[in-house]
Amino acid sequence: MGADVHRGSAGRRSRPEADLVALVAFALVAACNLPRDAAGTLDRVRGGTMRVGFAVDTPWVADSGGEAGGVEGRIVNGLARALGARIEWTHGHESELLNALHDRELDLVVGGLTADSPWRAKVAFTRPYHVDSGVVLRSPRAKARQEKHVLALPPGENGWLVHVERFLRDERALLASALEKKTGTAR
Amino acid sequence: MSGRPFVYPPEQAQAREKMRRVSWISVALLLLAGVVLAFTVGSSQAMKTAWLSDVLTAIPPASLIFALRYELREPSERYPFGYLRSLSVAFLVTAAVLTVVGLYLLYDSGMKLVHGERPPIGTVVFFGRQIWAGWTMIGALAFSLAVGFTLGKLKQPLAEKLHSKPLMAEARMNRAEWMSEGAAILGIVLVGFGQWWGDAAAAAFISLEIIRDGWDNIRQVVADLMDESPTRLGEHELEGLPARGRAEVEKLPWVEDAGVRMREQGHAVAGVVFVVPRADGLGAAALTERLAETRDRVRALDWRLHDVVVAPVSALERDDPPRPAAD
């Protein structure tokens, strides 16, 4: 209803400024699918194969017969399902997996990683999907010891990074149920 | 004239007060821009470089404020020529910091390019919406760009009025900011399009700009240390002031020959005038009176002339300043 009133007053002949505004708006819309990957990971993974490395760190990552289980295992499965991707699992140690990730031989690594890991300089960590503040006993410095749980992606694959971070935020229900099962198994 | 502090004419004194205010505004705005950039910096090399260059450009106005506190102090036993050169000290600090940090940043971004380190730029939650962090970076850079542009515009007319080399250098540095911030924006956009090298390349370009600023400042400081003859504001060319001084003195009927040497001391100019009096059997009292009159004539040429010493000599050692070869 407010729009009608507005249209009445703004319905004049379009001026160069208006054209410029339209151009900027168009550029912004075109820019909406930014950022893109440097090596096209997202396009390759979508409907294709997702190469995932996992290092066991229960309850975050559990070994369930050559595949990752646990909280992060469930997240990865949910992500693959949403993308229609098949998962190619690689089991290994954190350092070898993260080095392979840095060289883009893997698309994603899970292993109970936290945001303060020194690996953050070599690979791309997602925003934390879960902040665990119950790890240490209550103390004045408890806040500094919060564990921010993250997933690791290859650096420079920013379209892929943004996609995974959006997934983590949009699928909070999936995360909540995964985290609930974790506390269930831990007790 | 040594022994008394330099006094600015009213118009320049007003400009100097304005300069102090603009310097405070500079420090505040540049630090604010630095804080805004720090919130968005992430793991982009170009952002890191732009942030550092913002914080660095707050150092020159800060050291200028500091220098202005000392500039007009009474000459003391320890510093009998006064504190006018405190402005050169401010310059020295700026030059050293800019050069060292510029070189470090160039090395840092060069290594990132060589090793092919790719910048990860993910999302941020901004007012409840999840957007690509690149957009907030570009916003922060645009703000910083506007700050630099405004400051440059404010400083240039003041620098011209005060014939202030440090302020002119700052104005140029601020104006050059838009190139740095523009380069950083371009770098982020390139990363957005999957061109990972854009980030480190933009950072390398910005560090070259910082080094250039540092180099310009070093040249200026070295020239000051070497007692360079006054130069045109913001240029390398020598000013005609010493030649005008000599012409003025040579007009006096009792002067046979004259030589003038000048050097800049901060905003002021100091000089020595050598005069060869005509042999007309003057008494000492009459001579000193004429010398004082000569000093006042020379000082009237320009408001910057402060510490002018007139020395009677029997013959000139040298042609000061050298007359053009055509004469």
If asked whether residues A25 and A48 sit together in one domain, one would say no
Name the nearest CA neighbour of B109 among B194, B46, B53, B178.
B46
Pick from A129, A163, A126, A151: nearest CA to A46: A163
Q: What is the pLDDT of residue B155?
A: 93
Each residue's pLDDT tens digit, A99-144:
999 999 999 999 999 988 899 888 999 999 988 776 555 555 555 5
CATH number (domain holding residue A116)? 3.40.190.10
Q: Which of A90-94, B27-31, B179-183, B274-278 has the lowest mean pLDDT?
A: B179-183
Q: What is the pLDDT of residue A151?
A: 94
Query: Which ranges constitute the DSSP H helices of B57-196?
Result: 59-71, 86-115, 133-162, 165-192
Say whether pLDDT at A187 is over 50.
Answer: no
- Match 């921010």 to its residue by tokens: A148
What pLDDT sits at residue A135? 54
Residue A5: predicted pLDDT: 41
pLDDT of residue B317: 86
pLDDT average, residue stretch B122-138: 87
pLDDT in tens, B81-116: 889 888 888 888 878 888 888 898 899 899 989 988
Structural domains in chain B, sorted by start: 10-225 (1.20.1510.10), 241-312 (3.30.70.1350)
CB-nearest partner of A156 from B118, B123, B134: B118
User: What's the pTM?
Assistant: 0.80
Instruction: Report the chain A residue with the minimal C-alpha distance to residue B130.
Output: A166
**Residue-level pLDDT at A88:** 94
* Residue-wise pLDDT tens digits, B212-229: 888 888 888 888 889 999
User: What is the average pLDDT across B11-21?
Assistant: 93
Give the torsion through C-alpha atoms of B281, B282, B283, B289, to 10 deg: -170
| Contact between chains at B130 and A35 (C-beta distance less than 8 A) | no
Cα B52 to Cα B31: distance, rounded to the nearest angstrom: 10
- Determine which of A1-10, A63-72, B229-238 has the lowest per-residue pLDDT on average: A1-10
Across B123-137, average pLDDT = 87
Q: Which of B287-295's residues contact partners 24+ apart within 8 Å by CB, and which partners? A: B287/B312, B290/B252, B290/B254, B294/B249, B294/B252, B294/B255, B295/B1
Beta-carbon separation of A34 and B119 below 8 A: no
Q: Do both A161 and A93 map to the same domain?
A: yes
A12 & A104 share domain? no
Selecting from A37, A39, A165 the residue whose C-beta is nearest the C-beta of B122 gives: A165
A23 and A97 belong to one structural domain: no
Contact B149, B178 (CB under 8 A): yes
Q: Which residues of B touch A (CB under 8 A)?
A: 43, 117-123, 125, 130, 132, 134, 189, 191-196
Mean pLDDT for the stretch of residues B153-161: 92
Q: Could you give the CA distance from residue B197 to residue B115 in angstroms, rounded to a whole number?
A: 11
Same domain, yes or no, for A51 and A29?
Answer: no
Q: What is the dihedral of CA B214, B216, B218, B220, to 10 degrees?
A: -150
| Residues of B with Cβ-Cβ distance to A31 under 8 angstroms | 192
pLDDT bracket for residue B243 (50, 70, 90): very high
Strand order across the beta sheet in which B268-277 lies = B255-265, B268-277, B305-312
Spell out the residues 6+ positions from residue A22 whose beta carbon is closer than 8 angstroms to its own. none
Instruction: Please give the pLDDT value at position A131.
Output: 86
How far does the CA of residue B44 sit from the closest CA of chain A (Å)?
10
At B248-305, the pLDDT tens digits run: 999 999 999 999 999 998 889 999 999 999 877 778 888 889 999 999 999 999 999 9
Query: Lowest-pLDDT range, A68-72, B171-175, B186-190?
Result: B171-175
Q: Within this chain, do residues A26 and A52 fall inside the same structural domain, yes or no? A: no
pLDDT score recorded for residue A138: 54
Interface contacts (A, B; CB < 8 Å): 69
Lookup result for tokens 């800060």: B62
State the Cα–Cα distance between residues B196 and B187, nearest whole angstrom: 9
* Residues A98 and A177 occupy one common structural domain: yes
Sort out which chain A residues have CB atoms less than 8 A from B134's CB and list them: 34-35, 158
Can you tell me the distance from the alpha carbon of B290 to that of B287, in angstroms, rounded to the nearest whole number? 5
- Regarding whether A73 and A21 lie in a shared domain, the answer is no
For the segment A1-54, what is each residue's pLDDT rounded down to a tens digit? Answer: 334 444 444 444 556 667 767 766 666 666 667 788 988 899 999 999 999 999
pLDDT of residue B284: 82
What mean pLDDT comes out for the span B237-254? 92
Determine the residue among B41, B118, B196 to mutate to test chain A binding: the one whose Cβ has the most chain A Cβ atoms within 10 Å.
Answer: B118
The ipTM assigned to this model is: 0.74
**Residue with the larger pLDDT of the pair A28 and B29:** B29
pLDDT at residue number A63? 87
* A26 shares its domain with A95: no
Is the bond preceding B119 in cis, omega lying within 30 degrees of 0? no
pLDDT per residue over B186-212, tens digit each? 999 999 888 999 999 999 998 998 898
How many domains does the structure of chain A reveal?
2
Higher pLDDT, A141 or B161: B161
pLDDT of residue B210: 87
Best interface-test mutation with A: which of B124, B131, B132, B191 has the largest number of A CBs within 10 A? Answer: B132
A134 and A107 in a common domain: yes
Are residues A45 and A16 part of one domain? Answer: no
Residues of chain A contacting residue B125, judged by C-beta atoms under 8 Å apart: 127, 169
pLDDT for the residue numbered B178: 77
Identify whether residues A6 and A57 lie together within a single domain: no
pLDDT tens column, B46-87:
888 888 888 888 988 999 999 999 988 888 899 988 898 888
The residue range of the domain holding A138 is 41-186
Q: What is the pLDDT of residue B309?
A: 94
- Measure in Å the smallest separation between the Cα of B230 and chain A Cα atoms: 49
